Structure 1
Amino acid sequence: MITTPHWQDADTFYEQLLDAQAGLSPDQLQAFSARLVLLLANQVGDAAVLAECIQAAREAA
């Protein structure tokens, strides 16, 4: 799992993320976030890395 900054263009990504969420209801935002997580997880693909990411996110909560 990569924990150091690994962005090609963080500002553009953040802007795209905010634009995609604009105007969504709380339910739509939750569904959007779930779909995005699944799409990104599919890009990672490695079950061990995904498990580490889940654990790290949980610990940060």
Structure 2
Amino acid sequence: MTAASYPVIRCDGSVHCVAEAQGPPGARTVTEVRRHNAGDWHARPGGRDICPDCWKGDYR
């Protein structure tokens, strides 16, 4: 059995949010995950990633 690692981005909008996003199969970098989820997730200055629910809920 081998352990597979894959990149994810996690929401930094609200301290209570546990949302995360994965990239497409074969993604190897966080940049690829952001690109894959670009329509939903938002990147803030300083590298903070905000999920769609927190973005709409004004946790920017």
TM band (smaller chain): under 0.3
Higher strand share: 2
The TM-score normalised by the length of structure 1 is: 0.27
| Larger relative contact order, structure 1 or 2 (CA cutoff 8 Å, min sep 6) | 1
TM-score by length of 2: 0.27
**Structure exhibiting the larger radius of gyration computed from Cα positions:** 1
